[in-house]
Amino acid sequence: MMALLKVEDIHTYYGDSYVLQGVSLEVKRGEVVALLGRNGAGKTTTLRTIMGIIKPRRGKILFKGVDITPMPAFKVARMGIGYVPQGRRLFPEMTVLENLKTGMRKKGNGDKLDEIFDLFPALKDRLSQKASTLSGGEQQALSIARALLTEPEILLLDEPTTGLMPLLVSRLREVIEKLHEDGMAILLVEEKVPFALSVAERLYFMVKGKIAYEGSRRDLEDKRDVFIRYLGVKN
Amino acid sequence: MPEGVGFILFYLINGLIWGLIIALISLGLSLIFGVMGIVNMAHGDIYMIGAVLSFYFVSLFGNFWISLLIVPLIVALIAAPTERFILRPFEGHPSVTMIATVGISFILQQVALATFGGIPKKISSPWEVSFDFLGVSYPGYRLLVAAISALIIIGVWLFLYRTSLGILIRASMQDKEMASAMGINVNKVLIGTFVLGSVLAAIGGVLAAPISQVFYLMGNDVILLCFIVVIVGGLGSLEGTLIAALLLSSVEGAMAAFLTPTEARAMIFIIMVAVLMLRPQGLFGSNSA
Ligand SMILES: Nc1ncnc2c1ncn2[C@@H]1O[C@H](COP(=O)(O)OP(=O)(O)O)[C@@H](O)[C@H]1O
Ligand SMILES: [Mg+2]
């Protein structure tokens, strides 16, 4: 089957600093894939490059077989890639409802909004509240909800568990599982290895701007050394 | 000349009416800065162009109200390509765009000087009615200007805070990169904002033409006050801009009862310095700004 998202050997720079040194990965339709790596490995930069926020100097990004590399971010988003950035990046001065509306491109998708409230009931009572006044968990919910309203076929999640207490982390796991059941593809950047292992079918390990290892969850079951080698952590 | 309470009231109302025009123009300046990050040094000259064009329309058709409809359209048609071809290429380089707007300012002034001439001209009041209250006879046109300005400000406000397009503009104002990652075509927002901001300045110019002198340098005085308003209100805060415009203009107006215009303007500077010493981010600015 053709990959939904295919990243082919991208090289991305910030000015002179050579950050992504040939990253290739792919996500199939409906697949949940994790991208792991130490701080500074280039995970966020990979997602930003996929989104078209920064342009790679070399390499290609294909989405549904279309070369999206030259597209501006708004076109990439409209193609069907939803972005939940590191640090949430809500529009702090706008209300919860207004934040949600930034994602609602198509008119009359009120049904979509109801689905969102099924997934994140807490948001429903906070619609007229400013986004900046939400708790950490609610902010993360809003950031994901906003991205889902663009009706993506794949969701890029950048460290969604950061700052969430354990109960909320397992809530988030349920949300991801639910989205997965509904056929959403997800590329998850994570620092919490157990969390990534519990939701992702396949995992990539990134070291210094390169993919150092790729394997399925099953492959990794008896390879704890991989985690130590690439992440410097004991799982 | 009015006397007593009426005397001060007269100046206060004058200041408030002028404040509404200033609010209109400053709102444009504040939007352009907030959304585009551009310090538009030509904003006052767009106001001037509004007044000058209005002068021509009034002499051509003998009807002021036509100019109030058509001049904003003409200015919109000039503003759109200006953003696209002069400012857009320098997007993300604030100092370069600022210099570019200084150039635009110079061009607008010179074009006005070359065509309109260097002598101040007057437009007669389009509504020769006056109202009496508290023993003061007040020109009706000024009250009408206040009402029209207030309506336009409310309209812009509803547009920004109650429509889905307004949401896209405010989202771009807060985080352009994230806005585009949400599928918002930020380039369209930028051009739309520049057109809207310029149109507000031009409407200010048309409305002000019959109550001030039409002159190719008339923008210089206004742009200064508008910058003070935007700074005192807090950079990036639209409500701050509105409140500061009304506040400062009323104060300046009331003080004009006792002081010369230059002294009154000096007081405005003193207020600005005082506000900035107590609140460096301005009245409504966020701490991080
Ligand atoms: N805006 C930027 N400008 C310059 N360097 C950056 C920028 N953002 C990230 N970097 C650098 O790029 C490298 C990769 O960063 P990032 O993609 O954020 O890593 P990760 O998400 O894996 O922690 C780091 O060395 C970081 O310092
Ligand atoms: Mg990161």
- Strands (E) located in chain B: 130-133, 136-139
Is residue B1's pLDDT more than 60?
no
Instruction: Specify whether the CB–CB gap between B166 and B159 falls below 8 A.
Output: yes
Q: Give which of B63, B191, B165, B70 is closest to B123, Cα–Cα.
A: B63
What pLDDT shows up at residue A107? 66
Note down the domain range covering A99.
87-151
- Do A21 and A134 belong to one domain? no
- Do A17 and A30 belong to one domain? yes
Q: Point out which residues pair with A6 in neighbouring strands.
A: A26, A62
Q: Counting one residue from A and one from B, how many pairs have CB atoms under 8 Å apart?
A: 60
List pLDDT tens digits, range B210-257: 999 999 999 998 999 999 999 999 998 999 999 999 999 999 988 888
Domain borders along chain B are: 19-218
List pLDDT tens digits, range B136-188: 788 999 999 999 999 999 999 999 999 999 999 999 999 999 999 999 999 99
pLDDT top residue among B98 and A222: B98
Kindly list the distances between the CA atom of residue B147 and the CA atoms of B23, B63, B142, B196, B252, in Å, as whole numbers in the listed order.
13, 19, 9, 20, 20
Kindly determine whether residue B168 and residue A146, on different chains, have CB atoms separated by under 8 Å.
no
| A82 Cβ closer than 6 Å to some ligand 1 atom | no
- Do A159 and A94 belong to one domain? no
- Do A93 and A37 belong to one domain? no
List pLDDT tens digits, range A67-121: 999 999 999 999 999 999 999 999 999 999 999 999 987 666 677 899 999 999 9
- Do A63 and A160 belong to one domain? yes
Is residue B6's pLDDT more than 80?
no
Q: Point out which residues pair with A211 in neighbouring strands.
A: A206
- C-alpha of residue B7 to centroid of ligand 2, in Å: 65
CA-to-CA distance for B10 and B137, rounded, in angstroms? Answer: 9
What pLDDT shows up at residue B287? 61
Residue to test with chain B: of A75, A101, A102, most B Cβ within 10 A = A102
**Reported ipTM:** 0.93
Q: Which of A10, A12, A13, A14 to mutate to test the pocket of ligand 1 (most atoms within 8 A of CB)?
A: A14
CA-to-CA distance for B78 and B76, rounded, in angstroms? Answer: 5
Answer whether residue A175 is part of any domain: no
Name the token pair of B284: 């409504």
Q: Other CB atoms closer than 10 Å to residue B53's CB: what's the count?
A: 23
Answer whether residue A117 is part of any domain: yes
Strands A58-63 and A66-67: antiparallel
Q: Over range B42-68, report the average pLDDT.
A: 96
What single DSSP character describes residue B214?
B
CA-to-CA distance for A15 and B254, rounded, in angstroms? Answer: 54
Q: Give which of A187, A163, A230, A214 is closest to A47, Cα–Cα.
A: A187
Name the residue at shortest CA distance from atom 6 of ligand 1: A14
- Do A146 and A159 belong to one domain? no
What pLDDT shows up at residue A179? 96
- Do A3 and A60 belong to one domain? yes
What's the pLDDT band for B289 if we cut at 50, 70, 90? very low
Strand A66-67's sheet: what is its strand order?
A17-27, A5-14, A58-63, A66-67
What pLDDT shows up at residue B253? 87
Q: Point out which residues pair with A158 in neighbouring strands.
A: A189
Kindly determine whether residue A101 and residue B167, on different chains, have CB atoms separated by under 8 Å.
yes
Answer whether residue A174 is part of any domain: no
Strand A154-158's sheet: what is its strand order?
A81-84, A154-158, A185-190, A32-37, A202-207, A210-216
- Do A73 and A6 belong to one domain? yes
- Do A122 and A111 belong to one domain? yes
Kindly determine whether residue B183 and residue A147, on different chains, have CB atoms separated by under 8 Å.
no
Ranges of residues in chain A whose predicted pLDDT is under 70? 1, 106-109, 233-235
Q: What atom in ligand 1 is closest to the CA of residue A46?
A: 17
| A16 Cβ closer than 6 Å to some ligand 1 atom | no
What's the pLDDT band for B283 if we cut at 50, 70, 90? very high
Name the residue at shortest CA distance from atom 25 of ligand 1: A40
Answer whether residue A210 is part of any domain: yes
pLDDT top residue among B143 and B135: B143
Angle of the B140-162 helix axis to the B238-255 helix axis, nearest 10: 160
Answer whether residue A65 is part of any domain: yes
Answer whether residue A108 is part of any domain: yes
Residue to test with chain A: of B182, B190, B239, most A Cβ within 10 A = B182
What pLDDT shows up at residue A105? 75
The number of domains in chain A is: 2
Q: How far is A85 from chain B (nearest CA, A)?
A: 8
What pLDDT shows up at residue B105? 98
Is residue B2's pLDDT more than 70?
no
Name the token pair of B1: 């000349």
CB contact burial B17-31 (16+ within 10 A = b; e otherwise): bbbbbbbbbbbbbbb
What pLDDT shows up at residue B3? 63
Instruction: Specify whether the CB–CB gap between B202 and B27 falls below 8 A.
Output: no
Q: How far is B167 from chain A (nearest CA, A)?
A: 7
Q: Over range B107-135, report the average pLDDT.
A: 92
Helices (H) and strands (E) in chain A, counts: 10, 10
CATH number at residue A6: 3.40.50.300
- Do A4 and A73 belong to one domain? yes
- Do A70 and A160 belong to one domain? yes
Kindly determine whether residue B181 and residue A77, on different chains, have CB atoms separated by under 8 Å.
yes
CA-to-CA distance for B195 and A77, rounded, in angstroms? Answer: 26
Q: Over range B270-274, report the average pLDDT.
A: 94
Q: Give which of A28, A67, A37, A36 is closest to A50, Cα–Cα.
A: A67
Answer whether residue A177 is part of any domain: no
Query: Which of A95, A125, A151 is the endpoint of a domain?
Result: A151
- Do A103 and A146 belong to one domain? yes
Answer whether residue A180 is part of any domain: no
